Amino acid sequence: MDPIEILTNVDKVIPFFQPIFSADERMVMGYEVLGRIQYNDEYESLGAFFQDETIPDEYRLEIDDIIVKKAIEYWITNETKPYLFLNRNPNLLMKDNGESLLKLLLSYQEKGLLLDHIIIEISEHDFNGDIEQLNHLLLYYRTYGLKVAVDNVGNGAGNFDRMNLLSPDILKVDLHMLRKTNDRTSYQEVLYSLSLLARKIGAILLYQDIETMYQLQYAWQNGGRYYQGFYLSKPNSEFIQPDILKDQLNREMKQFIEFEKKKIQSVYHISVKIQQEIQKVLGKNKKSLEGNELLYEISKQLSYCSFRMYICDEDGFQQSSNYVKTEIGWTQQPSYLHKNWSWRPYFLENIMRMKLEKQGILSDSYSDIETGETIRTFSYPVNQHQFLFIDLTYEFLYDEGVIF
């Protein structure tokens, strides 16, 4: 739609509200406010208008303010008081150091607007100014009770350091790439990193663009407290009943929980089984097996589930060759002797756990650097100073239902 038509028909500009659901209550917790314009008996999105940088800033701000005012006026007259997510271009926001938006919100405070129910939503990667100044503005907003959400996280354009500096209350994670990308494993690793970042900075994860039940399950499995997308509800011109999907979400989350419990049970059984087979090898030999000799015996016992194994000391220095399964059988890779792996995340923590608990540990799924496949590693304390690491094959994990 031509920008001139929008600017000359501001009376037809209205807010639409896309519901955001919470995992804890399975109800609508808030709405993202979206711009629409009535055109030929239909409502068209104003997304392209706001993203068009050839349109003067004051015109985009004018339309944005109209949408915000109408959304707040509707919120004030409604019985329910959900959170409102207000999109704001950070570059436009900084034109007057955020004063016009704050003045607008404060003007409605006496009419009943709760500022702690307003969430300012920005796309960090769209901002081309001084990130420190933006951070100072957001800190100033927070003194009024306003919250901050960073949008479009997980699309590859964001900067973790900048997000860490901004310390948003909510991280909005895109899931559309999970459905479209061919390299799904790599994208899952990015989302996993985002979940760690959210935990570190104390932010809530909101997964958006959920279009399938599988994506909803993925969001639930990966720390998502809030959910948004067409699978749950499309944008509407009015608020919907807060509990409209409660029964559906109850059913689906029970399925997710059962699936997760079965997976945890499978992980436990696999750990017990592998540990018993290692102990069997060690028990058959009166003398103490070490290094390549031990790996040779273990590989015969665990060839059905593993493709690589090695032994390290408690400081992470490899005490054996790599034993690797090939098409012609198990072979040694002597070049790995004395390499150090203490730099790996959780490596030393797991070593200490094995020393203290005297039992093996099955890792989470991760992408193997050399093969690129999703694998898990089972580690086991041979004694107080040597630790066995066994990399399990994708095929075995898939068959056992613990690849995720």
323-343 per-position pLDDT tens digit: 999 988 999 999 999 999 999
Q: Tell me, what's the pLDDT at 185?
A: 60
Are 60 and 49 in contact, with CB atoms under 8 Å apart? Answer: yes
DSSP β-bridge partners for residue 22: 226
Write the Ramachandran bin of 156: left for phi over 0, alpha for psi from -120 to 50, otherwise beta. Answer: left
The average pLDDT across 303-311 equals 95
Q: Flag whether pLDDT at 195 surpasses 70.
A: yes
Write the Ramachandran bin of 269: left for phi over 0, alpha for psi from -120 to 50, otherwise beta. Answer: alpha
Q: What percent of the chain clears pLDDT 90, i.e. is strictly above it?
A: 70
β-pairing, 306-313 vs 386-392, is antiparallel
> Higher model confidence: residue 164 or residue 206?
206
Instruction: List every span in the chain annotated with CATH 3.20.20.450.
Output: 3-229
How many Å separate Cα 255 from the centre of its chain?
A: 21
Q: Tell me, what's the pLDDT at 287?
A: 61
- Given pLDDT bands bounded at 50, 70 and 90, which one contains residue 96? very high
Q: What are phi and psi of 375, to 5 degrees?
A: -140, 175
Q: For 24-28, 59-63, 221-225, 365-369, which range has the lowest pLDDT when averaged over its residues?
A: 365-369
Nearest CA to 232 among 35, 45, 15, 30? 30
DSSP β-bridge partners for residue 389: 310, 379
> Higher model confidence: residue 202 or residue 154?
202
C-alpha distances in Å from residue 156, one per residue of 38, 152, 175: 34, 9, 12
Q: Tell me, what's the pLDDT at 182?
A: 52
Name residue, tokens 């720390």.
223
Nearest CA to 382 among 293, 263, 260? 293
Angle at which helices 246-284 and 291-302 cross, to 10°? 130
Q: Tell me, what's the pLDDT at 186?
A: 64
CA–CA separation, 149 and 169 (whole Å): 6
3-class DSSP state of 258: helix
Q: Tell me, what's the pLDDT at 282?
A: 85
- The amino acid that residue 293 corresponds to is E
Q: Tell me, what's the pLDDT at 291?
A: 78
Say which residues have a Cβ less than 8 Å from residue 140's Cβ, sequence separation at least 6.
98
β-pairing, 83-87 vs 118-122, is parallel
The average pLDDT across 89-115 equals 94
Write the Ramachandran bin of 229: left for phi over 0, alpha for psi from -120 to 50, otherwise beta. Answer: left
- Max distance between CA atoms of the chain, in angstroms, equals 90
Q: What are phi and psi of 325, to 5 degrees?
A: -85, 125
The average pLDDT across 232-249 equals 96
User: pTM for the complete prediction?
Assistant: 0.86
CATH-assigned architecture of domain 3-229:
Alpha-Beta Barrel (3.20)
The average pLDDT across 339-366 equals 91
Q: Tell me, what's the pLDDT at 178?
A: 65
**Average pLDDT for the chain:** 90
- The amino acid that residue 265 corresponds to is Q
Side-chain half-sphere CA neighbours of 301 within 13 A: 19
Count CB neighbours of 267 within 10 A.
Answer: 17
Instruction: List every span in the chain annotated with CATH 3.30.450.20.
Output: 258-400
CA–CA separation, 118 and 32 (whole Å): 10
Q: Tell me, what's the pLDDT at 174?
A: 87
The average pLDDT across 70-86 equals 96
DSSP β-bridge partners for residue 85: 32, 119
Nearest CA to 351 among 322, 324, 318? 318
CA–CA separation, 378 and 363 (whole Å): 6
Name residue, tokens 């390299």.
183
Q: Flag whether pLDDT at 181 surpasses 60.
A: no
Question: 368-381, pLDDT tens digit by residue?
Answer: 888 888 899 999 99
CATH-assigned architecture of domain 258-400:
2-Layer Sandwich (3.30)
How many Å separate Cα 189 from the centre of its chain?
A: 9
Q: Flag whether pLDDT at 258 surpasses 80.
A: yes
